[in-house]
Structure 1
Amino acid sequence: MTEMMASGLVDIMLTSISSAEALADNGATTHRM
């Protein structure tokens, strides 16, 4: 049970980090233009 919760938290963290990086990249590209 705890292992499943830990892996789920890691997945959420990775997805949130990747989405945040994608948003930052989009903001940077639009700002350059």
Structure 2
Amino acid sequence: MIVIGESQGGGQTLIAAGLDNRVSKVVATVPAMCD
């Protein structure tokens, strides 16, 4: 599974990748919620 997101969605893609082992690729453009 590939997850893609920008801004807040970019932060959510990183969270999804960390929680779901089915995620094989992540595209996080300008991810928010990283601080």
TM range (shorter): 0.3 to 0.5
After TM superposition, the score normalised by the length of structure 1 is: 0.39
Q: Which has the higher helix share?
A: 1
**TM-score, normalised with respect to structure 2:** 0.37
Q: Whose Rg is larger? A: 1
Hey, which of these two has a bigger chunk of strand by percent? 2
Structure possessing the higher relative contact order (Cα contacts under 8 Å, 6 or more residues apart) = 2
